[in-house]
Chain A
Amino acid sequence: QITLKESGPTLVKPTQTLTLTCTFSGFSLSTSGVGVGWIRQPPGKALEWLALIYWNDGKRYSPSLKSRLTIPNDSSKNQVVLTMTNMDPVDTATYYCVHNYYSSSWGDYFDYWGQGTLVTVSS
């Protein structure tokens, strides 16, 4: 049974760095084709893809946010960390961690989602 859970601060101040942790179980990030991703959703708005890390340590970032996002190399066996620098009130959103099954044939899609964590950016 695959589960994912996001954890991190619920409130951050503008200009601060957000660090979120995804703790997962039921799969291994070492298995070929497997990835873990981050997706966010501002209140009342659409989903926005942020980042992905793959079984082969490959990483992809949203081009519009690439300069602010990092998935560190030192994530543990069952955790993936996402950092986002220079937070702004427009970054207020629910942040989701997702399981991804990737193939060059079909690309990325997200078959398991965490419950999401609401992060508010305010002074």
Chain B
Amino acid sequence: SYELTQPPSVSVSPGQTARITCSGDALPKQYGHWYQQKPGQAPVLLLYKDSERPSGIPERFSGSTSGTTVTLTISGVQAEDEADYYCQSADSSGTYVVFGGGTKLTVL
């Protein structure tokens, strides 16, 4: 079955830039989407179509894509950004939804 691969954890100091990658063979064909989940809460859509921000999402969250990898970049990380981040996409046929394994962002 198709998988999206994320690093289990990323650590960054406040004010620095955090980058979280998501790799998958179908990503050149399919968009990647990102979700933020804080403890005890439902996930929130952070970015869609690789880099589009829903209303209300701060500009410090941005996305990019290159080949088989999509990347979530958080510029000027704040303590409140400490959370789990999940990428989501589809298999090459676009039939099945797939989530990455999640990345825990720790703000040092």
> B89 — nearest CB in chain A belongs to which residue?
A107
Given the contacts A46-B86, A104-B94, A107-B94, A113 and B42 also touching, CB distance less than 8 Å: yes
Q: Which residues of B contact A (CB under 8 A)?
A: 1, 30-31, 33, 35, 37, 42-45, 48-49, 54, 86, 88-90, 94-102
Q: Could you list 17 further interchain pairs (A-B, Cβ under 8 angstroms) beyond the known A37-B97, A60-B95, A62-B96?
A: A46-B99, A46-B102, A47-B35, A47-B37, A47-B86, A47-B99, A63-B1, A96-B43, A106-B49, A107-B30, A107-B97, A109-B33, A109-B45, A110-B88, A111-B54, A113-B44, A116-B42
CB pair A106–B45 under 8 Å, yes or no, is no
Interface size class of A (residues with CB under 8 A): 20 to 34
A69 at the interface (CB under 8 A from B): no
Residues of B within 8 A of A113 (CB): 42-44
Q: Which residues of A contact B86 (CB under 8 A)?
A: 46-47
User: For the complex, is A67 an interface residue (Cβ under 8 Å from B)?
Assistant: no
Interface of A toward B, CB cutoff 8 Å: 37, 39, 46-49, 52, 60, 62-64, 96, 104, 106-111, 113-116
